[in-house]
Structure 1
């Protein structure tokens, strides 16, 4: 099973690249952000719990995030693998993901970090906000989300680097060029 973590700050291009990778490698996309938004829109119990957190640009507590992710993975028992987008965001989440996959007889094959500087991120998300109107993309919430990433989430990278699973790809440039660079890395993971 080919399980990948696509890593990067808000606006790095994880969603855009995930779509292309899913099509090529026939993987299931698991985006915690998309799951959260779906639960909020559907006004589920989980959606009610996370609605205010998302609106404020806060991280959802690990226990809720992990339970939701496990539920999503379990919905796809015949998957060839998964692309985890926006998860894990903390070292405890990374450890829980490893334990969960181990219980299923699987593991993370590799972690790819899209490298994008803060100026480019701000520009991309401002543009995305104009198009999609996502409430978590407004200027103040954006600053908070980027700050959360660089203060907290980035500390997950050394966890995977210590396992020899981390690769970095330049996330600035043409979408197709970035995609080809990602595929070159992923092809090294395939068994």
Structure 2
């Protein structure tokens, strides 16, 4: 049995295309895996605290087991989010493109889960930094929507895509290298063009639900 963590990053509710597509996928995935559990983590419509100086001091404390209570409190949300990620074999991130990047809630969630000693390790080899990913054996799906066409691989706007491409980089850094991206493009284009792209994304997600 596989459990799936769904991180919803859109600040919009029912009007969110990426949110609706992700829910379509989850519904189909649960039909195929009826004994599995889906956990939803809302970061688009709930404030996730940004990393601050207290967080950094606590996260990089030289003796993690000896952190004072105040530091443990500063890391409480991060500890919860990391444990939640580790407890699930599958990850779905619903993240529309905002100004060529991800919504602020997704960025804040990533900053909370990329933790030295928990999701990656760091060491020095002859003065050269070495990084070891610690989140292993998981698969991820990124469901996104974009205002225009051509942000995908080989597209004319590919170089301006700092959303799902950035997510791939971060997920790979902590050890999740098996990542699939499904996008609906052209929300700001002609209505029929976006409808076609949305339908294609929906069909791809329905097919993926059988094997993910």
Normalised by the length of structure 1, the TM-score is 0.43
Greater share of residues in helix: 1
Question: As a proportion of its length, which structure holds more strand?
Answer: 2
Q: Greater relative contact order: 1 or 2 (C-alpha under 8 angstroms, separation 6 or more)?
A: 1
